[in-house]
Amino acid sequence: MKLLIVEDESSLNQGMTEFLSASGYICESVGNYRDALEKIDLFSYDCIILDIMLPGGSGLALLKHLKNDRKEDGVIIISAKDAVEDRVLGIDLGADDYLTKPFHFSELAARIAAILRRRNFKGQSIINAGDMQIDTSGMTVTVQGDTVELTQKEYQLLLFFVINKNKVLTKNAIAQHLWGDDMGFPDSYDFIYAHIKNLRKKLTAAGCTDYIRSIYGQGYKMQLA
Amino acid sequence: MKLFAKYNRVNIAATICVFIIGSTGFYFVLQYVLTRQLDETLRVEQQEITAFVKQRDTLPVIENAKDQWIEVRPVAEMTKKASFRNANIYNPQEQEEETVRQLVFTIKAAGKQYEIIVSKSATETEYLLKLIIGIAVMMIALVLVFNYIINRTLIRRIWQPFYRTIDAIKGYHAGESLQLPQEKIDELRLLNQSLHQMSEQINQDYQTLKTFTENASHEMQTPLSVIRSKTEALFQYAERDEKLMQHLLTVEDATQKLARLHHSLLLLTKLKNRQFSTTDLIDFKEVIQKKIRERQELFESKKITVSLNGDITEKIFHPHLADIIVSNLLSNALRYTPAGGSINILQEEKAISFQNTAVNGSLDVTRIFHRFYKADQSAEGTGLGLAIVDEICSASGCKVVYRFHDLKHIFTIDFNMLT
């Protein structure tokens, strides 16, 4: 899977590149409008991570250019602007998703994976992760051929873990992925613990290895080879 | 009071005053002139008699006319001066009582002293006076009426462009250009030009401010993103170090709070700038149900029961802002309701109330919607949620009210003023 990261803030660009490369993507990164335009014209990508405010031009102009050329690249806009109008405009112009800065890299990875799943629907609907087989089109999980009944939240949680396997996920990141940012969480994250406990219980009961590890009760990690 | 009404009132009062004073003056002047004329004829008569007496030393034979007659009486004393007077007497010629002007003088003839009274009927004069005054009053009345009608129609027409301008201003929002027609009248053209310039200035300031907030937002969010990304990278190394893990979590929490704070302040600025104009018909019941569904597990984890009652008609509202209002009020209720408490949402025809069980007493009614107000300073949350709700309400033309009743915090959004 090939990604193009268009972001002018170099440390952020580098951070995303490292994180996404570690997730198994082939990443190319550019820091301004002209370079981005050149890359877009020359190559095609599975997904483009696009900042709106760029030196030399607007990310939205790039998006327009891309859609005028009928390119099939998936696009996720990352922007500091939370303006609803921008969000709507971006989606109207053909972006697949819109993520407001600052965001968790794990969240970005999850969004990219979702876009890629939607785009390559036929071939890629089965994810193999250890003992588990996740069918993203039917939203079902099987362990050694047996279906594991999961609630919607548990399924989302599992997918989030699988996409960000071998990475430490904090409670904040998990909570934001499952419930969004505007929820006004109660002071404790006990309900996340409950969800994870249930998920682990269901998976181990089906005969699956327990891949999820708690990191000092502050975060979790799915250890997959 | 309208400018025209005020102007008209003063105008009419002044006109009437001037006309009353003028008419009275006119009346007296006219009367004076006509009396002088009468007196002149009487004096001519006197002169004729005096001349006759001087010549012949005897009184002339008096022939009385219809409107002029002479009485002669012998008197004991002579008066030096002749005197004029008005009187109502019986006119023997006309055989009726009438107003007359009399000239009384004494004369010596043939050794005898006589008083001679020359009377001349003033009826004609009075009639003339009445006629002239009548015509004058009629003219005044006509002038007043026409003046009023002309003022009314003309001024109404003259002010038309003014009202057009006012209408244009009423519908004006910062960020758009004010379209005013080119007027022929100097003052109105000046007004429109000035208003146009002002709106251009406002627009410019507005755009500058808008760009500034957007840039500031970008400039601040980017470093925040960097901090968060680096923290996230560091988490991968903290697996074996609990201390490091805890430090990083603190950093992450702070970053998140800062980001949220920043978003909220930006939203408040945008609301103050009235940057949300698109509206839609919003079914608040649907919005509330959706927001409750999203938080279902959170409510359950705190064992809070949530109920939604009543019905509300659809309101014209900005969809995103409707989401934020409901979200903020629900999040507040979720955060401050004690475990095992309850949240009731009551929809009425023109209002929605969010009620939740209180831990302590009433909140500070005067400060509750202020920015950064927190009943408990140590509490989580930015302290901007209610300020945002308040600001959205005033930007959308409704009102939010807080009251404490029956150990419950009650926030009511009043849509009464909303169409």
Asked if the Cβ–Cβ distance from B238 to A215 is below 8 Å, we say yes
Asked if the Cβ–Cβ distance from A182 to B297 is below 8 Å, we say no
The minimum CA-CA distance between B194 and chain A, rounded to whole Å, is 32
Domains in chain B: boundaries: 3-138, 186-272, 280-414
pLDDT for B177-227, tens place per residue?
778 888 888 888 888 889 889 988 988 888 888 788 777 777 888 888 889
- In this structure, chain A runs to a length of 225
Neighbours of B124 (CB within 10 A): 12
A89/B274: higher pLDDT: A89
Residue A30: pLDDT band by 50, 70, 90 thresholds? very high
Whether B379 has a pLDDT exceeding 70, the answer reads no
Range 251-310 of B in CB contact (< 8 A) with A? 252-253, 255-256, 259-260, 263, 266-267, 270, 276, 294-295, 297-298, 300-302
Range 97-156 of A in CB contact (< 8 A) with B? 100-106, 153
- What mean pLDDT is predicted for residues B72-100? 82
| Backbone φ, ψ for residue A7 (5° rounding) | -155, 130
The residue with tokens 């970053």 is B255
Asked if the Cβ–Cβ distance from A82 to B266 is below 8 Å, we say yes
pLDDT at residue number B344:
94
Q: Which chain B residue has the Cα nearest residue A182?
A: B327
Q: Which chain B residue has the Cα nearest residue A80?
A: B218
The minimum CA-CA distance between A1 and chain B, rounded to whole Å, is 22
Chain B residues closer than 8 Å to A100 by CB: 221, 263
Residues 6 or more apart from B48 whose CB is under 8 A from it? Answer: B60
Asked if B385 has any chain A CB less than 8 Å from its own CB, the reply is yes
Q: Which of B383, B376, B308, B316 is nearest to B347 (CA)?
A: B308
Q: A126-222 has which fold?
A: Arc Repressor Mutant, subunit A (1.10.10)
pLDDT at residue number B355:
94
Q: What is the pTM of this model?
A: 0.66
CATH of B280-414, one of 3.40.50.300, 3.40.50.20, 3.30.565.10, 3.30.1180.20: 3.30.565.10
Range of lowest pLDDT (A80-84, B31-35, B320-324, B347-351): A80-84
- What mean pLDDT is predicted for residues B292-318? 86
Q: Is the dihedral of CA B379, B382, B386, B389 positive or negative?
A: negative
- Residue type at position B298: L
Asked if the Cβ–Cβ distance from B245 to A83 is below 8 Å, we say no
Q: Which chain B residue has the Cα nearest residue A165?
A: B236
Task: Locate all alpha helices (DSSP H) within B171-241, ordered by sequence.
Answer: 186-235
Half-sphere CA count of B51, side-chain side, radius 13 A? 6
Chain B residues closer than 8 Å to A194 by CB: 301
Q: Which chain A residue has the Cα nearest residue B220?
A: A80
The residue with tokens 């984890």 is B301
pLDDT at residue number A35:
93
Range of lowest pLDDT (A110-119, A186-195, B80-89, B105-114): A186-195
**Average pLDDT of chain A to the nearest whole number:** 86
pLDDT for B314-369, tens place per residue?
888 888 889 899 999 998 888 888 889 999 999 888 889 999 998 888 888 888 88
Please check whether residue B115 is in contact with residue B75, taking contact to mean a CB–CB distance below 8 angstroms. yes
pLDDT at residue number B356:
92
Sequence ranges of chain A with CATH classification 3.40.50.2300: 2-119
- How many Cβ pairs within 8 Å bridge chains A and B? 126
Asked if the Cβ–Cβ distance from B221 to A102 is below 8 Å, we say yes
Please check whether residue A168 is in contact with residue B235, taking contact to mean a CB–CB distance below 8 angstroms. yes
Asked if the Cβ–Cβ distance from A82 to B267 is below 8 Å, we say yes
pLDDT at residue number B272:
78
Cα A124 to the center of its chain, rounded Å: 16
Whether B62 has a pLDDT exceeding 60, the answer reads yes
- What mean pLDDT is predicted for residues B154-173? 83
Whether B55 has a pLDDT exceeding 80, the answer reads yes
pLDDT for B388-413, tens place per residue?
999 999 888 888 999 998 889 999 99
The minimum CA-CA distance between B385 and chain A, rounded to whole Å, is 10
Q: Which chain B residue has the Cα nearest residue A19?
A: B233
Sequence ranges of chain A with CATH classification 1.10.10.10: 126-222
Please give the Cα distance from A182 to B294 (Å, whole number).
11
Neighbours of B35 (CB within 10 A): 16
Please check whether residue A107 is in contact with residue A85, taking contact to mean a CB–CB distance below 8 angstroms. no
pLDDT at residue number B113:
87
Residue B42 burial by Cβ neighbours in a 10 Å radius (0-12, 13-18, 19+): buried
Range 206-245 of B in CB contact (< 8 A) with A? 214, 217-218, 220-222, 224-230, 232-233, 235-236, 238-239, 242, 245
Asked if the Cβ–Cβ distance from A186 to B298 is below 8 Å, we say yes
The minimum CA-CA distance between A8 and chain B, rounded to whole Å, is 10
Please check whether residue A111 is in contact with residue A19, taking contact to mean a CB–CB distance below 8 angstroms. no
**A102 prior amide bond cis, ω within 30:** yes
Q: A2-119 has which fold?
A: Rossmann fold (3.40.50)
Please give the Cα distance from B67 to A192 (Å, whole number).
125
